[in-house]
Amino acid sequence: MAEHLETLLKTSRLYRPTAQTVERAYIKDYDAAYQASIANPERFWDGIAKELEWFSPWHTVLEWKYPWAKWFLGGTCNITCNCLDRHVRSWRSNKVAVIWVGEQGEERIFTYAELYRQVNRCANALTRLGMQQGDRVTIYLPKIPEQIIAMLACARLGLIHSVVYSGFSAPALESRIQDAEARLAITADYGYDRGTAIPLKPVVDKAVANCPTIEKTIVVRRDKQGGDLRAGRELDWDEWLEGESTACDARPLDAETPLYVLYTSGTTGKPKGVVHVHGGYMVGTYITTKYVFDLKDEDVYFCVADPGWVTGHSYIVYGPLLNGATVLMAEGKPDYPTPGRWWEIIEQYGVSIFYTTPTAIRLLMKYGEDWPQHHDLSTLRILGSVGEPINPEAWEWFHRVTGGDKPIMDTWWQTETGSILVTPLPCVPLKPGSATRPFPGIEADVVDKNGRSIGTGGGFAVIKKPWPSMMRTILNDPDRYLSYWNTIPGCYTAGDVCHKDDDGYFWFMGRADDVVKVAGNRIGTAEVESALVSHEAVVEAAVIGKPHQTAGEMIKGFVILKQGQQETPELIDHLKQHVQMELGKIAVPREIEIVTSLPKTRSGKIMRRVLKAKELGQDPGDISTLEE
Ligand code: WTA
């Protein structure tokens, strides 16, 4: 890896922005803007927050009682006022807010005024069910507009939404509902995956059977024929909203009021509920969307994420709507029904900003350049990538097939950070594979394990000062929140290994902990291990991430079988199915190897690092603590 990086750094070409790109960008001189922001970050964030509407102003920008931060103290706001009301009162009222394209070729279009009315109806219906500020609502929906409507309706009332990606299985959904103690579940009858209808309601039924806090389930029925609902406990979305008023005032909330909880994987088997709040998250997602994508009113902004993940929260829903943008959201995979799908959408809707992932780019790369070449992509002006390191080959391909002159914003951030922290802006010269420099107001660095800045070279990515959109805690587990701030003294530790070059450019290399990024999705090895171990044939399991050409990383499991169990291809299949049932398709190991022992420390901890080195034919490093 290190050797590969050396040559990369030497050969890396610098792509300078065109004069036109710089001319129209909000930030024309990165260094000047960054230095000014960092000279007094609180003043910088204060100025940004003032671009938005508040019910009442704050008296203090930041209260920092290490490691607990509060932003915009005394201020009251509601993120939905800035996503909706602010635009509905302006000329944007009839501007398109959301274009939704379904996998079956359907199209639904919402103006700001229409989205506002739908959100209000949903909020009124939530109130009618007796939902109170602070209550949790679990949203388990496919990528359809109701997902945005439900999220905003919760936020409007100060309810806390917990969106769970609709690819998760019943046990995974169940544990997330239980941890959040949700009162309500919102789901749909079906999602679609490459033309196949995937029933979601049975997953919810199975999960809520063990969730006594759930009082009601709301079901968006895409197929009105299918599936009966249990009277009293289950409601049809349309019937639920019928007759509700399209007016509903947003509730004024203290800036630190929780907006949502979103579960993500870490180093233990239990996912962490990352908590974000109205005020700071609003400021962070608003300004990063605006500056990074140079978002203007005439843009059509297409982000391929699923609202079930943080990218969907911050860069499909909140960031773009805060800016009054036209957001395009497309259900389905990039290569269904053909590998021309996304290029076709870009041409058809005149997309100007396209935010995607390295995995998707590599997948489309496999199908060749003919597909993009068959489409007029001349409306594109800014591109984006997120979720995992983008390899220079994929970067160059993406750059070339889209015309060779559109800057790619390789945005680095995390569920915990709420918004983009290290990223190019359109005016910044690019090096393929590097997320370049910190966003204004963000003091990012690369340090050794004692927190000493390494200048140039490799180390751990950290953030040295609080920022508005940072998570406020981990739900029900403040100790886990603390661990982000006390692993390396005085800093927020991101858990990423990173290299900083002579120009101060950041090169994120992957996770330093036991988290694997499969197609950009964050999977904890411990979660997959406990799923494997819960199978009756398994005694012990260890899971590692391994490089994969398209997905970036893939999961490999090493399994010790119980005595008397035979290794057969059927058993391997069963184990895979079992993981799918426990966690969902995205967590299934691509490879499972049956072994008779696992490398462990004397205290019995599995040394995944050693397994991984062996698997990749590398030097395992220091193995003095190895038992055998
Ligand atoms: C990785 C996704 C390299 C990183 C927004 C981080 C990246 C984790 C990039 C967070 C990037 C995200 N380059 N690596 N541009 N963006 N990552 O919480 O390892 O799903 O820690 O948030 O994704 O994943 P999460």
What local confidence, expressed as pLDDT, does residue 368 receive?
95
Strand partners, 69: 64
Task: Clarify whether residues 396 and 541 are in a common domain.
Answer: no
Report which protein residue has its CA nearest ligand 1's atom 8.
414
Query: Which CATH number covers residue 574?
Result: 3.30.300.30
How far does residue 418's CA lie from ligand 1's centre (Å)? 11
Question: Are residues 489 and 555 located together in one domain of the fold?
Answer: no
Residue 338 gets which letter from DSSP?
A: -
Residue 605 token pair: 């901890």
User: Which segments of 379-477 are extended strands (E)?
Assistant: 382-386, 408-411, 444-447, 457-463, 473-474
For residue 1, what pLDDT is reported? 47
Residue 624 lies inside a defined structural domain of this protein: no
Neighbours of 213 (CB within 10 A): 16
Question: Would you give the distance in Å from CA 240 to the centre of its chain?
Answer: 30
Whether residue 6 is contained in a domain is answered as no
Ligand 1 centre to CA of 350 (Å) is 28
Query: Residue 480: what pLDDT?
Result: 96
Separation of 138 CA from ligand 1 center, angstroms?
24
Count structural domains, the chain. Answer: 2
Predicted TM-score (pTM) of this structure: 0.96
Together in a domain, 178 and 256 = yes
Are 468 and 550 members of one domain? no
Residues 476 and 604 in one domain: no
Cα radius of gyration rounded to whole Å, the chain: 24
Q: Are 471 and 561 contained in the same domain?
A: no
- Boundary-marking domain end, from 498, 523, 538: 498
Residue with tokens 């790109």: 21
Rounded to the nearest angstrom, the distance between the alpha carbon of 106 and the centre of ligand 1 is 32
Q: For residue 559, give both structure tokens.
A: 């399994």
CB-based contact 503:424 (threshold 8 Å)? no
**Residue 157 and residue 101 share a domain:** yes
- Nearest CA among 459, 474, 458, 87 for reference residue 274: 474
**Is 64 a domain residue?**
yes
Q: Which domain holds residue 402?
A: 16-214+231-431+444-498
Distance from residue 340's CA to the centre of ligand 1 (Å): 27
Query: Of how many residues is the chain composed?
Result: 628
Q: Which atom of ligand 1 is nearest to the CA of 309?
A: 20
Instruction: Give residue ranges with CB within 6 A of ligand 1.
Output: 264, 310-311, 386-389, 410-415, 435, 494-496, 508, 511, 517, 522
Residue 104 lies in a domain: yes
Q: Is residue 3 part of a domain?
A: no
3 exposed, middle or buried (CB, 10 Å; 0-12, 13-18, 19+)?
Answer: exposed
Overall average pLDDT of the 308-336 stretch = 97
Same structural domain, 261 and 286: yes
How far, in Å, is the centroid of ligand 1 from the Cα of 160? 24
- The answer on 521 and 484 residing in a single domain is no
For a pocket test of ligand 1, which of 304, 355, 362, 388 has the largest count of ligand atoms closer than 8 A to its C-beta? Answer: 388
Question: For residue 463, what is the domain's CATH number?
Answer: 3.40.50.12780
Å from CA of 496 to ligand 1 middle: 8
Same domain for 343 and 463: yes
Read off the pLDDT of each residue in 546-566 and give the average, rounded to a whole number: 96
Atom 23 of ligand 1: nearest residue by CA position: 387
Show the DSSP H helices in 313-384 as ranges: 319-322, 341-349, 358-367, 370-373
Is residue 622 assigned to a domain?
Answer: no
For 28-53, what is each residue's pLDDT tens digit?
A: 999 999 999 999 999 999 999 999 99
Q: Tell me which residue has its CA closest to atom 3 in ligand 1.
A: 389
Q: Are residues 386 and 531 in the same domain?
A: no
Residue nearest (by alpha carbon) to ligand 1 atom 10:
414
Both 455 and 524 in a single domain?
no
pLDDT (tens digit per residue) in 411-465: 999 999 999 999 999 999 999 999 999 999 999 999 999 999 998 999 999 999 9
**Domain annotation covers residue 626:** no
Buried b (16+ CB within 10 A) or exposed e, 305-334: bbbbbbbbbbbbbbbbbbbbbbbbbbbbbb
Strand partners, 162: 138
- Decide if 9 is inside a domain: no
